[in-house]
Amino acid sequence: MEEIPKNHPRYDSLKIREKLSNAVINGITHHTGLIAHGRGEAFDYILGEKTNKYTYEAEKISAAALLLADDPVVSINGNVAALNPGDCINLSNEIPAKLEINLFHRSNERVNKIYVELKKNGADKIYGLKADANISFLDHNRGLCDKDGIFSSDVVLVPLEDGDRCQALRKMGKKVIAIDLNPLSRTAREADISIIDNVIRAIPNITYWVEKYRNFDRDALKEMVDNWNNNLMLKNICTYISKRLNSMF
Ligand code: PTJ
């Protein structure tokens, strides 16, 4: 692949594209993951490629919800396995939470490749290989999950989820924390807590708050989570976007 000049104004963004396109070649990321990334990139551009105050709050609340959970799971798909696997492993260790490979376009070959990638990045136990259960209300390969992983979890963190699965997980009674740069997506509207941020920034931000809140009073954390108004946050983000765009020219 052609070398990207370091002084290119979009160097970071081009490096991320390169990472994902290599991960497609290596069989980790599904080819449609590039399309999903393009949509995310467009929203990130509109958001100014930084975490805004409303999202930062969502990341704090997510950390609280993950710390309060009895059986939390961090779900890993082909995009996040390419973008920041190490950060996801670190977050799952800090909570602590189970790490499960859970794919929309599931194939054993890709599950195995992601497994190797996570192991290379230092993961200990990884769920998602057994696929001995189904996310209820989904009758397709995308519903496969581990009985002692996502299936029996109470809180799931899903980066780049699709709306149907997010809805199905909620119907199963789980608290869903979704990371999705598109505030209009069904996932963002369905999740209990939506993080409208790039996974690259979101995972380290949540980890920061997990460390801060670890010894915090549990009742106080519970109150924060119970008082969270996801709809209001999405409304604030949309206002933030329109104000930002209106003031640009
Ligand atoms: O690896 P698999 O088989 O599980 O497949 C993963 C993809 C992402 C291909 C699959 O879940 C899919 O098709 O997702 P969607 O329905 O296209 O949704 C992806 C959402 O993620 C979109 O709303 C994007 O805006 C958002 N997105 C893309 N890149 C990022 C992102 N959100 C946060 N950070 C990103 N880097």
Determine which residue's CA is closest to atom 35 belonging to ligand 1. 198
Q: Kindly give the distance from the C-alpha atom of residue 160 to the centroid of ligand 1, in angstroms, as a whole number.
A: 4
Q: In angstroms, what CA-CA distances link 199 with 50, 81, 158, 195, 204?
A: 11, 11, 10, 9, 9
Whether 80 contacts 199, CB under 8 Å: yes
- How does pLDDT run across 87-144, given as a tens digit for each residue? 999 999 999 999 999 999 999 999 999 999 999 999 999 999 999 999 988 877 889 9
Can you tell me the distance from the alpha carbon of 115 to that of 242, in angstroms, rounded to the nearest whole number? 41
Asked whether residue 244 carries a pLDDT value surpassing 90, the answer given is yes
Q: Kindly give the distance from the C-alpha atom of residue 187 to the centroid of ligand 1, in angstroms, as a whole number.
A: 10
Q: Kindly give the distance from the C-alpha atom of residue 70 to the centroid of ligand 1, in angstroms, as a whole number.
A: 27
Name which of 2-16, 44-58, 86-100 the model is least confident about: 2-16
Can you tell me the distance from the alpha carbon of 154 to that of 169, in angstroms, rounded to the nearest whole number? 10
What pLDDT, on a 0 to 100 scale, did the predictor assign at position 173? 96
Can you tell me the distance from the alpha carbon of 245 to that of 223, in angstroms, rounded to the nearest whole number? 35
Can you tell me the distance from the alpha carbon of 39 to that of 33, in angstroms, rounded to the nearest whole number? 10
- The pair of structure tokens assigned to 32 is 């449609």
The amino acid that residue 193 corresponds to is I
Asked whether residue 1 carries a pLDDT value surpassing 80, the answer given is no
Asked whether residue 56 carries a pLDDT value surpassing 80, the answer given is yes
Atom number in ligand 1 closest to CA 79: 1
Can you tell me the distance from the alpha carbon of 42 to that of 182, in angstroms, rounded to the nearest whole number? 9
Best of 79, 102, 165, 205 to mutate for ligand 1, by most ligand atoms within 8 A of CB?
79
Determine which residue's CA is closest to atom 32 belonging to ligand 1. 180
- How does pLDDT run across 146-176, given as a tens digit for each residue? 999 999 999 999 999 888 899 999 999 999 9
Determine which residue's CA is closest to atom 25 belonging to ligand 1. 40
Can you tell me the distance from the alpha carbon of 30 to that of 34, in angstroms, rounded to the nearest whole number? 8
Q: Where are the beta strands (DSSP E) in the chain?
A: 72-76, 98-101, 133-134, 144-145, 155-159, 175-179, 193-195
* Higher local confidence (pLDDT), 125 or 5: 125
Q: Kindly give the distance from the C-alpha atom of residue 217 to the centroid of ligand 1, in angstroms, as a whole number.
A: 35
Q: What is the pTM of this model?
A: 0.96
Mean of per-residue pLDDT scores for the chain? 96
Residues framing ligand 1 (Cβ under 6 A):
30, 32-33, 36-37, 39-40, 43, 77-79, 103-105, 160, 162, 179-182, 185, 198-199
The DSSP bridge pattern shows strands 72-76 and 98-101 to be: parallel
Determine which residue's CA is closest to atom 36 belonging to ligand 1. 198
Domains of the chain: 53-240 (3.40.50.12640)
> In the block, which residue shows the tokens 């997506």?
185
What pLDDT, on a 0 to 100 scale, did the predictor assign at position 226? 98
Q: How far does CA 181 lie from the centroid of its chain?
A: 10
What pLDDT, on a 0 to 100 scale, did the predictor assign at position 2? 72
Asked whether residue 6 carries a pLDDT value surpassing 90, the answer given is no
